[in-house]
Every structure is written in structure tokens, then in C-alpha cells.
Amino acid sequence: MRITADTTVCIGAGMCALTAPEVFDQADDGLVTVLLPDPAEELHEAAAEAVRLCPSGALGVR
């Protein structure tokens, strides 16, 4: 799994940090920071859910 985040698209809703806090955080400006771009397998489900929930389409998963 490879997580990507586009901070030019992010609107700082915080859904990712709420859903998968081990994988995502919000920087001081509110925009997404990926803590674990290649999360361990036990985090895959939460990470994929966070990507699905992202309202702005800033997150991607490969």
C-alpha cells in the first residue's frame, strides 16, 4: 500500500486524522500530513477507509 496526499487539494476537514490517526495527521495549518506512507498491514483497512472518506479527493492509495 502506498498513500499519497495532495495538499493543494486538501481542505483540512480532518476526516483522515479522525479515521486513521496512526497514518494521517493535520499539520499546524490544518492540511494533511501522511505519517506512514506505507502503513503496516493491520492499518490498511483504516487507511483505505480514510481515503474513501476524504471529502476533497486529496488522498490516493496505490
Partner 1 sequence: MSQTTPPDSRSFPLRRQCPLAPPPEYDRLRAQEPVSEVRLPTGGTAWLVTRYEDVRTVLSSPAFSADGTRPGFPTLLPGHEQILRRPPFIRMDPPQHSFYRRMLTQEFTLKRVRTMRPGIQTTVDRLLDDLLARTPPVDLVEAFALPAPSLVICQLLGVPYDDHESFQSRSKAVLSGASTAEQSATALGGLRAYMDGLITRKQREPGDDLLSKLVSEQLEPAGELRRDELLMMCVMLLSAGHETTANMISLGAVALLEHPDQLAALRSDRGLLPGAVEELLRHLSIADLVTTRIAAEDTELGGTAIRAGEGVIALLAAANWDPGVFPEPERLDVHRGNRHHVGFGYGVHQCLGQNLARLELEIALSTLFARIPTLRVTVPVDELPYKHGGLLFGLHELPVSW
Provide φ and ψ at 10, rounded to 5°.
Answer: -55, 140
CA distance 29 to 38: 24
- Check residue 35 for interaction with partner 1 (CB under 8 A): no
Q: Does 51 bind partner 1 (CB under 8 A)?
A: no
Q: Determine the 3-state secondary structure of 30 from DSSP.
A: coil
48 forms part of the interface with partner 1 (CB under 8 A): no
Rule CB under 8 A: say whether 18 interacts with partner 1. yes
Q: Does 60 bind partner 1 (CB under 8 A)?
A: no
Q: Under the rule (CB under 8 A), what is the footprint of partner 1?
A: 11-15, 17-19, 26, 28-31, 52-53, 55-57
